[in-house]
Amino acid sequence: MILNGLGFVSKPLYMFPQYFETIACEHLIGAGVKPEYLNDDKLGTVMDKLFIKGLDTIFFIIALKAAKKFNVSLSSSHLDSSSMHVHGEYNTSLPEVIFENQQSGKTQDLEELTVKSPKEITITYGYSRDHRPDLKQFKYHQIAESKVTEIISHKKDNQAETSYQISATVSQNESKINTEILSAGRFIIATNILESKQLGDDLMLSEYKAQQCCERGFGFLKDPLFFADSIFLKSPERIESLGMIMGLCLLVYTLAQRQVRAALSKSKSMIKNQLAKATDRPTLRWIFQRFQGIHLVKLHNEKHVSNWDQDRNFILNLLPDDCLRYYQLIT
């Protein structure tokens, strides 16, 4: 599903077998994996199992391992929310599952020995960022609780007022106007970390601006070419599982793009973008487009990669060594 999600082909889940007909499944996924095996029934069963196992735990473990492998700093995190619209009623279909702890020799209460399956997300109507108030939606990073405190200011009783009429001539103070123009772009960033050694002004501003990376991630998930632009699934549990997989797609995309850009920066190299201009900050979508038209060909029982050239080989070497075996047939 991650391969499909990063394929930018805008094909719904029921067309999975058709998508993989032109993909070297056994070469990419494993021996014996045929396109017809990757059908919507199989994917639905997998999504059910993922949900029962616990989506938060699965994503958390994968994200931590990825952060460790790629040396991603965990000194700060960014939180944002968004919503995805769906089609259909979406009633719960999975039964409640209770997992029993098999520990023995301890006098724990029954509640401590059992763990219930997760509760599915709420899919309902609400304010639509997609401008589709007629459709139900689900949220990413929903805030569970918020509190508003009312502050009342006391003023003295109004006294009798006397009105005045003022006649004046107005002229522009250019010095004041220029000062206000210069300060118009200023804003306040607040923090509860008061030690400048822990969080200096430059670092705080940098962290604040990094929030846009989180916001752009939702734009990636809502792209019309992404397979989840319009979600058609049978249950809230499967929609929640798909949401987790969409997050994994974004994780893979972001890490790969980060890897390419870091390698270009380290080697002080550049590649041409869509406008044939040199850049050291290409998008991963452009990288994927550069790899279109490549096929695995079997000739006389030998595997060959077609349409390979020096530019693609240069890009491939910017990625981790694990990627080499798929294109250079290194075992």
Is residue 19 within 8 A of residue 4, CB to CB? The reply is yes
Show the tokens assigned to 51.
Answer: 């949900």
Query: What is the CA 138 to chain-centroid distance, rounded?
Result: 15
Cβ atoms 242, 47 nearer than 8 A: yes
Sequence letter at residue 308: W
Sign of the alpha-carbon torsion through 248, 251, 253, 259: negative
The residues facing 299 across adjacent strands are 302
Most confident of 160-169, 183-192, 254-263, 282-291: 254-263
Mean pLDDT for the chain overall: 75
Q: Put residue 268 in one of left, alpha, beta given phi > 0 → left and psi -120 to 50 → alpha.
A: left
How many Cβ atoms from other residues are within 10 Å of residue 174's Cβ?
A: 8
Looking at residues 211-236, what average pLDDT do you find? 65
SS (H, E, C) 151-162: CCCCCCCCCCCC
pLDDT at 228 over 50: no
pLDDT, tens digit, for every residue of 42-59? 888 888 889 888 888 899
Look at residue 53 in the predicted model and tell me its pLDDT: 86
* Number of residues in the chain: 331
Q: 58 versus 146: which is more confidently predicted? A: 58
Q: Any idea which residue has 């850049």 for tokens?
A: 279
pTM over 0.85: no
Q: What is the model's pLDDT at position 107?
A: 46
Q: Spell out where the chain has E strands.
A: 82-86, 98-100, 114-116, 136-140, 271-272, 278-279, 296-299, 302-305
Q: Give residue 157's region: left, alpha or beta (phi > 0; psi -120 to 50).
A: beta
Distance of CA 68 to the CA centre of its chain: 18
pLDDT top residue among 320 and 225: 320
The Cα 157–Cα 163 span in angstroms is: 18
